[in-house]
């Protein structure tokens, strides 16, 4: 059973900001916010009543940190190292991996995932399809160690959104992967010339089936509102890319299969 925390979002963000400004006050948006948020998440498990100031002290005072479980991964020394790398400008590949789920983007795989959902979901619209893609990539990252498509997602106004989603939809249409009912891209999507879904690895098909079973019956409004409650959305700045490390905070997650690498 997953560990559920009743986070006070403002307290977490305040503590993260204090730690970031302590180490690199001029780093701006180049600091990996997810490192700090997840460090605070782990500290709250053992210090649930701590104030932002107390969490700040625990994170910057190495002698005070007692590594337990995943906390060792986000100890102050690790935070310092990651912050230093991020502001050095020498880790563009690592940054890309953080936001693409440790995989290079593949339009072919994206087409296959889209075909999977459009063939199995009635009245699917662009909004719902986008959320199903998001959950497939992020859930697969947790259970299997990488995203499925290598796509990047932004914190949009109405939830996580695939980077350049409108362009992706147009390309899917022009390649025949999907068709729009009545030619209207704001309405339901139907499968066109389906990509070969079964070229996808079994573990990815298992993830997609789990997403379909858990979110496929939701309306576009329901899944959009649900995604806005995700830590991945709440702890990412508006219009910034969402770090795949936030996948571990999803409200629902599939059980890892035996032998699956995962990242938990």
Residue 258 in any domain: the answer is no
Q: How far apart are CA 140 and CA 160, in angstroms?
A: 16
Distances (CA, A) of 234 to 49, 69, 152, 163, 229: 21, 24, 17, 18, 7
Residue 95 in any domain: the answer is no
Residue 1 in any domain: the answer is no
pLDDT in tens, 61-98: 654 444 443 334 444 444 444 544 454 444 455 456 88
Same domain, 142 and 220: yes
> Where is average pLDDT lowest: 44-58, 75-89, 233-247?
75-89
- CB of 128 within 8 A of CB of 220? yes
Q: What is the 3-state secondary structure (H, E, C) of the chain?
A: CCCCCCCCHHHHHHHHHHHHHHHCCCCHHHCCHHHHHHHHHHHHHHCCCCCHHHHHHHHHCHHHCCCCHHHHHHCHHHHHHHHHHHHHCCCHHHHHHHHHCCCCCCHHHHHHHHHHHHHHCCCECHHHHHHHHHHHHHHHHHHHCCCCCCCCEEEECCEEEECCHHHHHHHHHHCCCEEEHHHCCCCCEEECCCCCHHHCCHHHHHHHHHHHHHHCCCCHHHHHHHHCCCHHHHCCCCCCECCHHHHHHCCCCCCCCCCCCCCC
Q: What confidence tier does 37 reach under pLDDT thresholds 50, 70, 90?
A: confident
The more confidently predicted of residues 14 and 263 is 14
Same domain, 31 and 115: no
Same domain, 141 and 200: yes
Same domain, 135 and 244: yes
Residue 148 in any domain: the answer is yes
Residue 99 in any domain: the answer is no
How many domains does the chain fold into? 2
Expressed as residue numbers, the domain containing 60 is 9-90
Q: What confidence tier does 8 reach under pLDDT thresholds 50, 70, 90?
A: low
The more confidently predicted of residues 184 and 37 is 37
pLDDT in tens, 107-153: 999 999 999 999 998 879 999 999 999 999 999 999 999 999 999 99
The predicted structure's pLDDT at residue 63: 41
Same domain, 49 and 127: no
The predicted structure's pLDDT at residue 31: 56
pTM for this predicted structure? 0.77
Residue 235 in any domain: the answer is yes
pLDDT in tens, 182-195: 655 456 788 777 77
Same domain, 188 and 115: yes
* Beta-ladder partners of 180: 189
The predicted structure's pLDDT at residue 198: 73
Same domain, 127 and 75: no
Residue 102 in any domain: the answer is no
Q: Look over the chain and give the mean of its residue pLDDT values, rounded to a whole number.
A: 79
Residue 67 in any domain: the answer is yes
- CB of 142 within 8 A of CB of 247? yes
Same domain, 159 and 234: yes
The predicted structure's pLDDT at residue 151: 96
């Amino acid at each position: 059973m997953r560990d559920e925390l009743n986070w006070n979002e403002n307290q977490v963000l305040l503590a993260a900001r204090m730690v970031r400004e302590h180490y690199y006050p001029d780093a701006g948006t180049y600091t990996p916010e997810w490192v700090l948020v997840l460090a605070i998440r782990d500290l709250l498990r053992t210090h649930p009543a701590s104030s932002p100031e107390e969490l700040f002290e625990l994170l910057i005072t190495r002698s005070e940190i007692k590594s337990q479980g995943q906390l060792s991964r986000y100890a102050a020394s690790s935070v310092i190292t990651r912050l230093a790398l991020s502001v050095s400008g020498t880790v563009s590949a690592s940054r890309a991996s953080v936001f693409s789920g440790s995989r290079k983007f593949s339009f072919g795989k994206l087409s296959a995932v889209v075909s999977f959902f459009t063939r199995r979901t009635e009245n699917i619209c662009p909004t719902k399809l986008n959320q199903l893609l998001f959950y497939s990539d992020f859930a697969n990252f947790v259970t299997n160690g990488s995203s499925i498509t290598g796509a990047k997602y932004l914190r949009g106004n109405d939830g996580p959104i695939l980077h350049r989603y409108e362009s992706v939809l147009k390309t899917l249409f022009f390649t025949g992967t999907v068709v729009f009912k009545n030619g209207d891209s704001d309405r339901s999507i139907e499968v066109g010339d389906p990509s070969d879904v079964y070229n996808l690895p079994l573990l990815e098909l298992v993830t997609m089936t789990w997403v379909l079973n858990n979110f496929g019956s939701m309306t576009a409004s329901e899944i959009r509102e649900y995604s806005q409650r995700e830590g991945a959305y709440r702890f990412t700045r508006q219009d910034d890319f969402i770090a795949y490390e936030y996948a571990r905070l999803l409200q629902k997650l599939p059980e890892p299969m035996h032998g699956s690498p995962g990242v938990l």
